[in-house]
Structure formats: structure tokens, C-alpha cells
Amino acid sequence: MTEIDKTDLPKGIGKPAEQAFSAAGYFQLEQFTQVSEKDILKLHGVGPKAVKVIQQALREKGWTFKE
């Protein structure tokens, strides 16, 4: 089983964002609590849609991006 098989990232972020997150080592939603939206948007392939989907998933768990 690879790291990407163990992901709990939400569906709907788009393939380019999935690939960018994988390349950057982001496989678990909780990891996004340690990084800011601004930093995530610097990743090639990640746009506002992916950030919004991640943000919503974080909110559902009571988490947020790092300020």
C-alpha cells in the first residue's frame, strides 16, 4: 500500500491538486493544520477550488489552516 492509498483527503480537489499535494508529502487532512492557505496556493496545480474543498473538510473536523 502506498502513501497515496492511505490518504484521507476529500474528493473533489481535482487531479492537479491531488498530484501537487502528493508531491509535497500531504496525504492526511490533519497535515493542513500545519500550513497556511497562502503556502498551499504556492503549489503548482493548487487553486482556489482545492483550497475551498480542503478548508471545508477541515472545518467539518473543527480544524483550520495555520494562520
Residue ranges per domain, the chain? 3-60
Q: Which pLDDT belongs to residue 6?
A: 76
pTM of the model: 0.86
Q: What is the CATH number of domain 3-60?
A: 1.10.150
Measured CA distances, 20 to 44, 53, 58, 61 (Å) = 6, 15, 18, 23
66 contacts 36 by C-beta, under 8 angstroms: yes
- In this structure, what are the phi and psi dihedrals at residue 64, rounded to the nearest 5 degrees? -140, 165
Tens of each residue's pLDDT in the chain, 67 residues: 445 467 899 999 999 999 999 999 999 999 999 999 999 999 999 999 999 999 999 999 999 999 8
Take residue 18 and report the three cell numbers written for it: 491531488
- The 3-state DSSP class for residue 51 equals helix
